[in-house]
Structure formats: structure tokens, C-alpha cells
Amino acid sequence: MADYGSAKKISPFNRNFFNGGEGFTRIGNGSLGGKAQGLALIRDTLAAKFQKNRFQDIIINIPTLTVITTHFFDRFMEQNDLYEIVASDLNDDHIASHFQKTELPAEMIGDLRALIAQVRVPLAIRSSSLLEDAAGSPFAGVYGTKMIPNNQYDTDTRFRKFVEAVKFVYASTFFKNARDYMKAAGHSIEQEKMAVIIQEVVGLPHDRRFYPNISGVARSYNFYPLSYAKPQDGVVNLALGLGKMIVDGGLVWYYSPRFPRVNPPYKSTGDLLKSTQKNFWAVNTGKPPPHDPINEAEYLLNLDLRDAEYDEVLPYIASTYDIQSDRVNIGTTGKGPRIITFAPILQAEILPLNELLLILLDLSEKTYGHKVEIEFAMTFDPRSGRPPRFGFLQVRPLQISAESVKIEKEELKHSTVLVASERVLGNGTLNTIEDVVYLKPDNFDLKYSRAVAAEIEALNRRLMGEGRPYLLIGFGRWGSSDDWLGIPVNWSQIAGAKAIVECTLPEMSIDLSQGAHFFHNISNLGIYYFSLEYSDEYQIDWEWLDSRQVAAEAEFLKHVHLASPLKLKVDGKRGMGVIFK
């Protein structure tokens, strides 16, 4: 595998972003950071090994980008005396505010100004840290990414917004989420350095908004295989609009690329209607929002499917529910609720997207020698006559433990079992957990999910401070951005948990988490993740838990301290896991 750690193999930015002959350049001589290194590697692989002839009609590339290398991060931090600020206990907003008051190094500022002077399309300002996406310690989704519309007439205004976004990404290196992640991953903050990717956003302009028709994440290994598939069949998540919907764990379409025509296991049409994408994210290219440089979503819009219907993008990605026949028809020809199923592409194959993903996953796997995850975005507008475009946004290796753990099914039903499941993420054994934090089933209601998140955060902080790893048990999807689907925690709020259980209560009709971005990181930190539906044959031993010595109790949760550690085993190959009392 080529080494892109040093930026020397990448051409320097020649102050010409789109027309300089090079679509991948660098500013500075330091490291490109993990994310950019991955892209550099895959750029070469695509050039050398990708057989384009099967996809002649599609533009397939890495969107034009330049990387500010880590060299300038050091310079920026020193020049503005920021190490003192980040060593203090300031919250994220205060850190971001301090970073906004700084100055970027003079030796890079001319290049940035030149870039902005000639570019008037939306840009993504993305993190690419030294530790990010490195095999063994991926930091996916931990640091900030800021999208800017970059469409103001005046270069000065565009430049100001752009500089604010770069400083925001720098600041995100020290946000609580990132710091906690570093701690849990066994790194110190001093080890981390941030490179910044400046990349064109793949998308199409619509009325006052800009977004891709499809964003997606494809993995060559599925930690939660669907019933008909094996883990190595992989999984693809697709969303309308920007990929934030997938990253945030929102409602999106998912399927195995080996079985593109098989729908996710929805129980009924009603379930399908309820559990598919209702909103999407776009870059706001219309009326400027209130100035808020420390808000990652400052220029993002969360829109309704009706906006996409108005933009005429649904015919190529949606199906329509026909109420009279109780059928779901591909496309948007009839009246009725639209459902984002991507059926025109996956079933009617108006675009060979799935075929392309299988090839790219295979190529990426061979390049890395690992199971991989890729992120992409796609645009197409048949009315315009322009060819469809597939933008390769990111590739990273997936960490899969090699320890051989075998669990017999009988073990799951043993009398000493506290929790057992056949849908478990991770692989290995653990005998160090002496604390359990769990949501009290009797008074839980999803309408209190935000309050629950706050209670967990406080307890997590205390247990982390005392160096006590714990088992966390709760209802619904952990980390969901939708309060009604689960507990809307971010990673830092539960970072001390070494094992996590998500389960449902009898009246809860929620599909549990499918290993979205957030959980990918948990897996790579060696955290075990159990999924357990109320209707499953295995149950949690609540009685035993309730009879333990209570260490702390809040309105919605309880913390019990055990006399002896729990014994945890997870068989990653078969996705089975058990925790013995």
C-alpha cells in the first residue's frame, strides 16, 4: 500500500482549484491526515485498476479537493497560543469562539484567498486528522465538517465564511466528543493533529438549496446482517440529500449489495411508510442564515420530502403508495405518499449504482487488505442531458477483531445469563465490568428521551472520572438524532460504557440501530453492542438487576455496583453474544 502519510506525493496547490490540471492538491508539507490519505490511495487505485467501460455514461471521480496539511495546524495552534485554551475545561461553544478570534498562518492565507476568489460553488470543509480513519483507531464522525454555500457575490464575504469554517474544523479537534473519544481510544490529545480537506460538494442546484440526489455509505462487512445475508455480504445505506442523514443515524434505506432488490424487513406497508426517510439535508444557497460560525449546521437546511418533490428529484428515487390498492408502485406517477425506496435504481435499474458499488467495494478491499467502508454522493438529472456523476467521498478500513470466540446456542439460555442476543456487534471476551447503568423499564417513555440523555451524561462523567467501565442498557436506538427513535446521546455522553445494550419495550415498534456512523466507531474502540427486541427469545434479567446494590439512582436510570465482575463473550463471526451474571 502506498504511503501518503507525507504530503510530498501530492501536487502542491497552484492557486487554480478546478482548472489546474490536478483535482487533488495540498497546501503545506505536513501530513494529509487519515481521511485524505485514504482518498489519495483510492484515487490511484481508480486510475490504475477501475474498468470504466462498464460505466461509460457516468462520471466517476473524487470531487476536486485540496488539503491543508497538519503542518499548518501546528503553526496555527502555536501562533494563537491555543494550547492553553484547549487545556482548560471550556465547553465546545467557548472553544469554538476562541478559535474564531484567531488568525490563520500568513503562509497559507494567500492560497486560501486565491481558491475562494475563483470558486463559487458549495464547499465542504472536512476534518482529516492524523488518527482519523487509520486502521486500528478510526475517528469517523468525531470531528467537525462544515458545508458552506460559497455563493455570495462578494469574494470578501465568501472568504470570511470559508475562514470561519476552517477554524471551526480546527476547533472540533478539541470538542468534548473528540476528547472523550481520544481518551477512550487510549490516545492523548497531544498526539492529534488536524489536516483540513476543502472539497467541492457533490450536488445539484435547486431553488435556494443544493444537494445530491443520493448520498450513501457502503460497507463490505455488515455487523448486523439482514436475515437473508451473511456479514461478508455487506450493507449499503442510501439517503436523499446530504449524507448527514446517514451519519446522524436518521431513517434511511438499507440493503445488502448482494441482494439489492430485497427490501429491509419491514413488517407491513404501514411500517414501511413510517420507517423510511421523511426529511433530507441540503446546503442553504438562499437567504443567509443568522451568523453562527460555531454551529456546524449553520448553512444546512433540514427539508421535507415535499421540497424534493417540488425540485422534481423524486421520480428517480421514490416509490408511491397507492392507498386504494394498498400497493407500493415504483416511481411517482400516481398520487399518494412518496416513499424513499430507491426502487427506480435498485429494482428498475435506471442506473447501475449497485453494480458500481460492488466493484468499488471490491477494489477498495483489495487496496486496503481489509474490510472497508466507502462514502459517496451521486447526482443525476436526465432532463438536463448532463451525465450522472458518482463522487467518491471517503474510504476507510473496518476493524474486525481476530480473536476466536465460539458460543454455543445453549449458552444463551443458561440460568446465569443476564443478557443474550444473536445480534451483537464486536468480537472477544471481557471480565472487567462491575457497574451497570440501566434505564428503568417501569417509567420509561420516549418523550423523556432528552432528559434521559442528560442523566446519562452526568453519570458517565462520574464513572469515567473514577475509571470504572460499565454496561449500559437502554431502550431504542442509542445515538439517534430523532428523540422518538431512541436516546439522542452523542458519543461523549456514553463514552465510558464498555458494553451497550439496546432493546425495546412491548409497545415500542422501532427498528434498532443498524450500525450507523456512530456505532462504527464504538465497534472500533472494542465496545460490545447488543441488540435485543422485546419479542426475541432472550430476555434481560431485570429482577436480578433490581436486586443489586444501588450505587446511584435518578428519575429514569439506575446505577448498580456488582460484587463480582460480569463475564462477557461475543462471537463476532456468528454475531452472538452473552453476558453472564
Q: State the residues that interact with other proteins by CB under 8 A.
A: 15, 29, 75, 103-107, 109-114, 117, 156, 159-160, 163
Q: How far is the CB of 163 from other proteins (least distance, A)?
A: 5
Helix axis angle for 155-172 and 92-100, nearest 10°, is 140
Task: Indicate the residue among 15 and 574 with the shorter CB distance to other proteins.
Answer: 15
DSSP-assigned letter for residue 62: P
Task: Indicate the residue among 29 and 432 with the shorter CB distance to other proteins.
Answer: 29
Reduced 3-state DSSP string for 275-289: HCCCEEEEEECCCCC
Task: Indicate the residue among 91 and 155 with the shorter CB distance to other proteins.
Answer: 155
Output the nine-digit C-alpha cell for 379: 447526482
Task: Indicate the residue among 79 and 329 with the shorter CB distance to other proteins.
Answer: 79
Q: How far is the CB of 12 from other proteins (least distance, A)?
A: 9
Q: How far is the CB of 117 from other proteins (least distance, A)?
A: 7
CB proximity list for 208: less than 8 A, separation 6 or greater: 284, 285, 286, 287
Output the nine-digit C-alpha cell for 577: 453474544
Return the number of other C-beta atoms located less than 10 Å from residue 58's C-beta. 18
Q: How far is the CB of 44 from other proteins (least distance, A)?
A: 23
**Distance between CA atoms of 556 and 274, rounded to whole angstroms?**
27
Annotate 156-170 with b (16+ C-beta within 10 A) or e (fewer). eebbebbbbbbbbbb
Q: How far is the CB of 178 from other proteins (least distance, A)?
A: 24
Q: Are 26 and 195 in contact (CB under 8 A)?
A: no
Return the number of other C-beta atoms located less than 10 Å from residue 266's C-beta. 14
Task: Indicate the residue among 14 and 401 with the shorter CB distance to other proteins.
Answer: 14
Output the nine-digit C-alpha cell for 538: 432472550
Task: Indicate the residue among 32 and 452 with the shorter CB distance to other proteins.
Answer: 32
Q: How far is the CB of 490 from other proteins (least distance, A)?
A: 30
Task: Indicate the residue among 3 and 156 with the shorter CB distance to other proteins.
Answer: 156
**Distance between CA atoms of 540 and 537, rounded to whole angstroms?**
10
Backbone angles phi, psi at 296, to 5 degrees: -60, -35
Look-up of cell digits 398520487? 335
Q: Which amino acid is at 236?
A: V
DSSP-assigned letter for residue 55: G
Task: Indicate the residue among 110 and 387 with the shorter CB distance to other proteins.
Answer: 110
CA 555 to each of CA 96, 354, 395, 443, 532: distance values in angstroms, whole numbers, following the listed order = 33, 47, 42, 9, 23
Cα–Cα nearest to 162, from 92, 66, 245: 66
**Distance between CA atoms of 31 and 8, rounded to whole angstroms?**
9
**Distance between CA atoms of 257 and 235, rounded to whole angstroms?**
6
Task: Indicate the residue among 103 and 445 with the shorter CB distance to other proteins.
Answer: 103
Q: How far is the CB of 105 from other proteins (least distance, A)?
A: 7
Q: How far is the CB of 170 from other proteins (least distance, A)?
A: 13
**Distance between CA atoms of 539 and 199, rounded to whole angstroms?**
48
Task: Indicate the residue among 28 and 241 with the shorter CB distance to other proteins.
Answer: 28
Q: How far is the CB of 113 from other proteins (least distance, A)?
A: 3
Q: Are strands 567-571 and 428-430 parallel, antiparallel or unpaired?
A: antiparallel
| In 266-381, alpha helices (H) | 269-275, 305-310, 343-346, 353-368
Task: Indicate the residue among 43 and 167 with the shorter CB distance to other proteins.
Answer: 167
Q: How far is the CB of 28 from other proteins (least distance, A)?
A: 10
Q: How far is the CB of 100 from other proteins (least distance, A)?
A: 10
**Distance between CA atoms of 449 and 303, rounded to whole angstroms?**
23
